[in-house]
Amino acid sequence: MSGPVTRPQSGETRRRTATAPAKVNLHLGVGPRRADGLHGIVTVYQSVGLWTHVTMTAEPESGTGTVTFSGPSTYVERGDEDLVRAAVRRCFETAGRPEEAVRVDIDSDIPVRGGMGSGAANAAASIVAANALFGLGLSPAQELGVAQSLGSDVPLCLHGGTMLGIGHGEQVTPMPWRGDPLHWVVAMAREGLGAESVFAELDRMRGAGTAHPSASFDAEDQPVDDGHIDLARALAGGDVDEIAANLYNDLANAVASLRPAIRRTLEDGREAGALAAVIAGSGPTCLLLCRDGASALDVATELATRGSAHAVRAITGPTRGAHITAT
User: What per-residue confidence (pLDDT) applies to 226?
Assistant: 65
**Measured between alpha carbons, how far is 131 from 327 in angstroms, rounded to an integer?**
13
Collapsing DSSP states into helix, strand and coil, what is residue 55?
strand
The answer regarding whether domain 182-317 maps to CATH 3.30.70.890 reads: yes
Average pLDDT score over residue span 109-125: 94
Of the chain, the percentage scoring pLDDT greater than 90 comes to: 70
HSE-CB at 46 with a 13 A cutoff on CA atoms is 24
Average pLDDT over residues 194-199: 94
Q: Does residue 216 have a pLDDT over 70?
A: yes
Q: CB burial class (10 A; 0-12, 13-18, 19+) of residue 306?
A: middle
Residues 220-253: pLDDT tens digits?
778 876 668 899 999 999 999 999 999 999 999 9
In the prediction, which pLDDT does 167 show? 83
Note the pLDDT of residue 168.
Answer: 74
Mean pLDDT for 165-188 is: 89
Residues 287-296 have a mean pLDDT of 98
Delimit the domains of the chain by residue range.
15-175, 182-317
What value does the mean pLDDT of the chain take? 89
The CATH number for 15-175, chosen from 3.40.50.300, 3.30.230.10, 3.30.413.10, 3.30.60.50, is 3.30.230.10
- Asked if pLDDT for residue 289 goes beyond 80, the answer is yes
The predicted model gives 44-63 an average pLDDT of 89
Q: Work out the pLDDT band at 255, boundaries 50, 70, 90.
A: very high
- Position 70 scores a pLDDT of 53
Of the chain, the end-to-end C-alpha distance in Å amounts to: 16
- For residue 279, the surrounding DSSP H or E stretch is strand 276-279
8 A C-beta contact, residue 220 and residue 140:
no
Q: Is the pLDDT of residue 8 over 80?
A: no
Q: Give the separation between CA 61 and CA 6, rounded to whole angstroms.
A: 22
| 73 pLDDT above the threshold of 70 | no
Above pLDDT 70, what percent of the chain? 89
Is 218 considered catalytic here?
no
Higher per-residue pLDDT: 37 or 264: 264
The 10 Å Cβ neighbour count of residue 307 is 9
With CA atoms as reference, report the closest residue to 14 among 55, 54, 52, 53: 55
Q: What is the mean pLDDT of residues 245-268?
A: 96
Q: What is the pLDDT of residues 136-175, one digit of tens each?
A: 999 999 999 999 999 889 999 999 999 999 887 678 999 9
- The one catalytic residue among 80, 153, 250, 268: 153
Give the number of other Cβ atoms within 10 Å of residue 229's Cβ. Answer: 13
Pairing of strands 286-290, 182-188: antiparallel
Catalytic annotation on 23? yes
In the prediction, which pLDDT does 71 show? 52
Catalytic choice (23, 109, 250, 268): 23
- Grouping H, G, I as helix, E, B as strand and the rest as coil, residue 47 is strand
Question: For 296-323, what is the mean pLDDT?
Answer: 96
11 confidence band (pLDDT: 50, 70, 90)? low
C-alpha 189/C-alpha 310 separation (Å) is 5
3-class DSSP state of 162: strand
